[in-house]
Structure 1
Amino acid sequence: MSDLSATVRNVRAVLLSHRYDRGDELVWVGGTIRSWDAALVEVELADGTRGIGEAGAGIMAATAVPGIVEAFRPYLVDVAFGSPLDVADHLRAYTAFWSRGGILSGVAGAIETAVLDAVAKREGVPAYEILGGAKRRRIEAYASGGLGTTFDEVAGWAAEQFATGFETVKFRAMSDPDTTIDLLDHVVAGLPEGGRFIIDAVQACASSPWSVEDAIRVGRHAAGLGARWYEEPCQADDVAGFARVRASVDVPVSGVESNGTVREFAELVAAAGVDIVQPDVTFVGGPRAFSRVAAIACEASVDCVPHVWGSAVTFAANLHTVFAEPSVELFEFCTLPNPLRDALRVEPVDFVDGTIGAPSAPGLGVQLTADIEQRFAFRPGGGHVIR
Structure 2
Amino acid sequence: MARYGSAYRASAEKETGMEIMDVRAIPLRRELRARFANAQKWIGSREYCLVRAETRKGVVGWGECWGPIAGNREIVERTVAPRLAGERVDEVEALHDELVFELRSSYHSFVPASVVSGVDVALWDAYGKSVDRSVSRLLGGRRRESVPAYATGHFFRDVDSIEELETIVAEEARSHVDRGFTALKQKIGLGRHFPWGTEEDLRLVAAVREEVGDGVDLMVDANHSYDVADATRVARGLADYDVRFFEEPVPPEVGYYADLADRTVTPLAGGECWAFREEFDRALAEGGLAYVQPDVTSAGGITSTARVASMAEARNIQTYPHVFGSAVALAASLQVLATIPGDPMLEFDRTENPIREGLAVEPITNDGDRVPIRDAPGIGIEVDEDVLAEYEVEL
Matches within 5 A, 1:59-98: 61-69=68-76, 70-80=78-88, 82-98=90-106
Matches within 5 A, 1:17-96: 17-21=29-33, 24-27=34-37, 30-57=40-67, 61-69=68-76, 70-80=78-88, 82-96=90-104
Give the conservation status (yes or no) of the 8 Å contact 2:358–2:384. no
Give the conservation status (yes or no) of the 8 Å contact 2:269–2:291. yes
The CA distance in 2 between the partners of 1:94 and 1:35, in whole Å, is: 33
Give the conservation status (yes or no) of the 8 Å contact 2:38–2:223. no
The CA distance in 2 between the partners of 1:288 and 1:101, in whole Å, is: 22
1:125-170 CA-to-partner distances (Å, cap 9, x unmatched) read 3322222231111211111111124121111111111111111100
- Gaps in structure 1 of 5+ consecutive residues: 381-387
1:237-296 CA-to-partner distances (Å, cap 9, x unmatched) read 2x2221111111111100021212221111111111311110011111111211211111
User: TM-score normalized by structure 2?
Assistant: 0.87
Give the conservation status (yes or no) of the 8 Å contact 2:114–2:300. yes
Q: Which is bigger in relative contact order (C-alpha 8 A, separation at least 6)?
A: 1
| Paired position in structure 1 for 2:277 | 262
Give the conservation status (yes or no) of the 8 Å contact 2:89–2:123. no
2:72 maps to amino acid: V
1:9-41 CA-to-partner distances (Å, cap 9, x unmatched) read 1111000011123xx333556543221011100
User: TM-score normalized by structure 1?
Assistant: 0.89
1:114 aligns with 2:130: no
Q: Which of the two has higher C-alpha Rg?
A: 2
1:89 maps to amino acid: D
- SS of match in other structure, 2:360: coil
- Alpha-carbon spacing, 1:102–1:257, altered in 2? closer, same or farther (3 Å): farther
| Count of residues in correspondence between the two structures | 367
**What is the RMSD of the two structures over their aligned residues, measured on CA atoms?**
2.1
- Alpha-carbon spacing, 1:376–1:126, altered in 2? closer, same or farther (3 Å): same
Matches within 5 A, 1:104-143: 104-143=112-151
Equivalent of residue 223 in structure 2, options 202, 209, 214:
202
1:52 maps to amino acid: W
- Gaps in structure 2 of 5+ consecutive residues: 1-14, 158-164, 192-196
Matches within 5 A, 1:1-387: 6-21=18-33, 24-27=34-37, 30-57=40-67, 61-69=68-76, 70-80=78-88, 82-98=90-106, 104-149=112-157, 150-173=165-188, 174-175=190-191, 176-203=197-224, 205=225, 210-237=226-253, 239-327=254-342, 329-378=344-393, 380=395
2:135 maps to amino acid: A
The CA distance in 1 between the partners of 2:355 and 2:382, in whole Å, is: 11
Give the conservation status (yes or no) of the 8 Å contact 1:37–1:378. no
How big is the shift at 1:99? 5.5
